[in-house]
Amino acid sequence: MAVCIAVIAKENYPLYIRSTPTENELKFHYMVHTSLDVVDEKISAMGKALVDQRELYLGLLYPTEDYKLCRYGYVTNSKVKFVMVVDSSNTALRDNEIRSMFRKLHNSYTDVMCNPFYNPGDRIQSRAFDNMVTSMMIQVC
């Protein structure tokens, strides 16, 4: 269950961040922020491959008392990072699902990019993107 989805630009500022539980948003933001370091670390570690298409960072980085929050990372070729916080209480092993979710995210992001009215670097305000993210967050729940 994706509780939080964030799109981070290359400069590590958020382009889009959304969480399902309206409360604890700040906590999710913080978690995403901390995970950025890990993502950067992984990116730099990947010397041979230019860019790791799908970087799956499964980490109980922050197992709270309620649920284990697994942060997954995904980096595009343009160093745009997708971070997803997933509540792994129901399904622990859903690597493929995570990958598909990231793929969808990536596709929607490219669609947003294709919009000439969208200036790269702006916050993503596309309704279609929102809908897609919402559907992901709801469906997985």
Partner 1 sequence: MEGLTLSDAEQKYYSDLFSYCDIESTKKVVVNGRVLELFRAAQLPNDVVLQIMELCGATRLGYFGRSQFYIALKLVAVAQSGFPLRVESINTVKDLPLPRFVASKNEQESRHAASYSSDSENQGSYSGVIPPPPGRGQVKKGSVSHDTVQPRTSADAQEPASPVVSPQQSPPTSPHTWRKHSRHPSGGNSERPLAGPGPFWSPFGEAQSGSSAGDAVWSGHSPPPPQENWVSFADTPPTSTLLTMHPASVQDQTTVRTVASATTAIEIRRQSSSYDDPWKITDEQRQYYVNQFKTIQPDLNGFIPGSAAKEFFTKSKLPILELSHIWELSDFDKDGALTLDEFCAAFHLVVARKNGYDLPEKLPESLMPKLIDLEDSADVGDQPGEVGYSGSPAEAPPSKSPSMPSLNQTWPELNQSSEQWETFSERSSSSQTLTQFDSNIAPADPDTAIVHPVPIRMTPSKIHMQEMELKRTGSDHTNPTSPLLVKPSDLLEENKINSSVKFASGNTVEQIGSNVTRQRSHSGTSPDNTAPPPPPPRPQPSHSRSSSLDMNRTFTVTTGQQQAGVVAHPPAVPPRPQPSQAPGPAVHRPVDADGLITHTSTSPQQIPEQPNFADFSQFEVFAASNVNDEQDDEAEKHPEVLPAEKASDPASSLRVAKTDSKTEEKTAASAPANVSKGTTPLAPPPKPVRRRLKSEDELRPEVDEHTQKTGVLAAVLASQPSIPRSVGKDKKAIQASIRRNKETNTVLARLNSELQQQLKDVLEERISLEVQLEQLRPFSHL
Minimal distance, residue 62 CB to partner 1, in Å:
33
Q: Specify the residue, 78 or 107, whose C-beta has the smaller distance to partner 1.
A: 107
Binding site for partner 1 (CB under 8 A): 107, 110-112, 114-118, 125-128, 131
Minimal distance, residue 110 CB to partner 1, in Å:
8
Residue 83 φ then ψ, to 5°: -120, 135
Minimal distance, residue 129 CB to partner 1, in Å:
8
Q: Specify the residue, 48 or 127, whose C-beta has the smaller distance to partner 1.
A: 127
Q: Specify the residue, 90 or 115, whose C-beta has the smaller distance to partner 1.
A: 115
Burial of 31 (0-12, 13-18, 19+ CB in 10 A): buried
Burial of 6 (0-12, 13-18, 19+ CB in 10 A): buried
Judged by DSSP in three states, 104 sits in helix
